Amino acid sequence: MKRTLMKYRSVKPSAGSSRKGTMLERWDLSHLLKNPTDDFDVMMKELDGLVSQFEAWRQRLSHEMPSQAFPESLRLAERIAAASTKLGAYAYLWFSEDTKDPQARSFKAKVEERLTGLQNRMLFFDLWWQSVDEVNAARLLDASGGFRYHLETIRRFKNYTLSEPEEKIINLKTVTGRSAINTLYDVLTNGFAFTLTVSGKKRTFTREALSTYARSKTPRLREASYKELYRVFAANHDLLGEIYQALVKDWKGENMDLRKFPTPVAARNLGNDVPDQAVEALLSVCQQNSAVFQEYFRLKARICKIKPMNRYHLYAPHPAERKRYRYPDAVRMVLEAYRAFSPRLAELAARVFDEHHIDARTVPGKLSGAYCYSVVPGFTPYVLLNYTGEARDVATLAHELGHAVHGMMAADHTVFTFYATLPLAETASVFGERILSDALMEQETDKGVKQGLLLAQLDDLYATVLRQTYFTLFEKQAHEMIANGATVKDLAATYLANLRVQFGKAVRVPDEFRWEWLTIPHIFGSPFYCYSYSFGNLLVLALYHMYKQQGPAFVPKYLDLLAAGGSKSPQTILTEVGVDMRSEAFWQSGFDTIKGMVQELERTAV
């Protein structure tokens, strides 16, 4: 069975010094590998030996095998997984630094190919484990200790697993197929150059640098930045569209035609260990509450004096003077906010900086956006940012550090179960943003600044709840359309219609936004990933409400939730804190909180 890559990308979109200086930091990858060429050979030799030991278990495995012997095989599998993950992490992190670096791309491809070969040699274990009868499986599960949920996860895929030769072929073809096409998308789109006239001078920008102008105080620059973004992507729509269609057909071919999942999204749901009914309840409630954000954007248009409200101006800043934040100040603010909530979380977050596991630079060729890569238990995660000094960059830092502390809090679990399953993966990250926002609101006394902070919070909630829901709804349509022969222009028309339903009469959507979906990496690389943001944000609103009610008494419960990592099902973890994910009433409670924030904003506008 394929393991999930342990990196979480934020939806917000030469060596540096320490955070005490003014330069942006560059991470230190030597903690993973000292020398990629020499260390690769050494690590592959070691891994090959370990896998040979594991292969010897093929003759020892039986339904009736002694319970006390079973964990020995699991501990060996964990050693192999830990070493493989470190090697894979180095390859991806190096590639992220500069997607145009041919050495980094070559190394990444070599690592993926070799690790897939090792994975195929170990595939027999998962298939054997799925074949064990229920009585003996229960007996062996009782002896498995911390590996229990990992083993339950393997058996969860029993009805969708193919024969060993077929699974091996899929793994091999993924490297030269799906993975290679995803890399092509990253290389192509991160190499795009954008031009914009600023202060009378035509300048060239990376996508990250261009995106800052979508929040410019100048309406002309906001509009121009979007037009330039979609001009470049539209010019490449044939190629990008072909890439997307190939990925969708691959998803269908593997998950529906071969594995017999009933729907494309069902494959993601099973991987997330979330019932289909819970996802449908979430998406339904989000659709029902689109009017909440439509009302918000009408109100924002009045506050920001935008007539008429247009999609170009969705993220327009508050009219008051905008602050820019030096990187050292951003780090200090985030760590102080974490420390006020929990000194333990602040201590863990600080390790990311102290061990130089963050790359904050914005340079050509670097992977866009932001992510956290949790490697193995007990190893400080790596964080990628593209820091430009905007307020949202500070929020993104708080977000990614939330991912980091989540993995670090769960360090007592196995390499298979320390990282949170996808629906809970956004819990700590979004909670970290809420902690920061709350701290900033409490510190400010200026009414205009507080109003601006409230606008920023609601902008982010739109981007991470409703927007992500409609991405998922578009994906469901797109997968069906491509199966029926739709063209790239058909998909673009559907996406534009999707946007106009989402915004209603509150926000006008220009035609060029039909190409926005081409700019969203998750839609290409991780089908149906996006609903996890809606899930995580609405969950956090409920948890944060509990925190505001219970005060310090809530903190230990929250830390326990993080410490669970992925050692239990999401439903079990959430039930322990009083959450029913199948209930529309629960998801509605999150929107009730958002409604309250819109009402609070309206009171400030009087």
What is the pLDDT averaged over residues 221-242? 97
Express as a percent the part of the chain with pLDDT over 70.
96
pTM of the model: 0.84
Q: Give strand pairing partners of 359.
A: 384
Q: How far from 491 is each of 254, 258, 472, CA to CA, in Å?
A: 22, 25, 14
Q: Hey, where are the domains in the chain?
A: 32-185
Token pair of 232, please? 């470049």
Inform me whether the pLDDT recorded for 289 exceeds 90: yes
pLDDT (mean) for 288-305: 96
Quote the CA–CA distance of 141 and 84 in Å, as a whole number. 25
* CA atoms of 455 and 449, how far apart (whole Å): 10
8 Å CB contact between 533 and 279: no
- pLDDT band with cut points at 50, 70 and 90 for residue 254: very high
Task: Please say if the pLDDT value at position 113 is more than 90.
Answer: yes
Task: Collapse the DSSP code of 325 into the 3-class scheme (helix H, G, I; strand E, B; otherwise coil) and give the result.
Answer: coil
Q: What is the mean pLDDT of residues 456-481?
A: 96
CA–CA separation, 382 and 400 (whole Å): 9
Residue 209 to residue 217: CA distance in whole angstroms = 15
How many other CB atoms are found less than 10 A from the CB of residue 225?
Answer: 24
pLDDT at 18: 36
Position 15 scores a pLDDT of 30
Highest mean pLDDT among 51-55, 173-177, 185-189 belongs to 51-55
| pLDDT reading at 176 higher than 80 | yes
Averaged over 450-463, what is the pLDDT?
89
* Residue 9 pLDDT greater than 70, yes or no: no
* Confidence label for 22 from pLDDT (cuts 50, 70 and 90): very low
* Phi, psi of 372, deg, nearest 5: -120, 135
Cα distances from 12 to residues 99, 419, 442, in angstroms, run 19, 22, 24
Mean pLDDT calculated for residue range 411-415: 97
Higher per-residue confidence, 440 vs 342: 342
Contact (CB, 8 A) for 153 and 80: no
Predicted pLDDT at 12: 42
**Element containing residue 195 per DSSP (H, E):** strand 194-198
Contact 552, 271 (CB under 8 A): no
Average pLDDT over residues 83-91: 96
pLDDT at 546 over 50: yes
Residue 13 has a pLDDT of 36
Q: What is the pLDDT of residue 2?
A: 37
**What's the pLDDT at 440?**
85
Q: 485 — phi, psi (to 5°)?
A: 90, 20
Using DSSP's 3-state secondary structure scheme, residue 544 falls into helix
Residue 562 — pLDDT band, cuts 50, 70, 90?
very high
Rounded mean pLDDT, 203-221: 92
Does residue 14 surpass a pLDDT of 70? no
What one-letter code names the amino acid at 484? N
DSSP summary character for residue 197: E
Round to whole Å and give the CA distance between 600 and 270: 39
pLDDT for 23 equals 67
> Taking 60 as the threshold, does the pLDDT of residue 11 lie above it?
no
474 band by pLDDT with thresholds 50, 70 and 90: very high
Q: Is the pLDDT of residue 341 over 50?
A: yes
Q: Are 212 and 390 in contact (CB under 8 A)?
A: yes
Retrieve residue 98's tokens.
Answer: 């500069």
- The 3-state DSSP class for residue 418 equals coil
For residue 19, pLDDT beyond 50:
no
pLDDT at 444: 76
pLDDT, mean of residues 250-259? 97
* Per-residue pLDDT at 463 exceeds 80: yes
pLDDT band at 122 (very low <50, low <70, confident <90, very high): very high
Q: What average pLDDT does the chain have?
A: 92
The burial of 179, by beta-carbon neighbours within 10 Å (0-12 exposed, 13-18 middle, 19 or more buried), is given as middle
Residue 345 confidence class, pLDDT cut points 50, 70, 90: very high
Task: Give the containing element (helix H, strand E) for 338.
Answer: helix 327-341
Fold for domain 32-185? Butyryl-CoA Dehydrogenase, subunit A; domain 3 (1.20.140)
The band of 450, judged by pLDDT with boundaries at 50, 70 and 90, is confident
The larger pLDDT score, comparing residue 464 to residue 319, is at 464
Q: Residue 365: pLDDT above 70? A: yes
Q: Is the dihedral of CA 477, 422, 360, 524 positive or negative?
A: negative
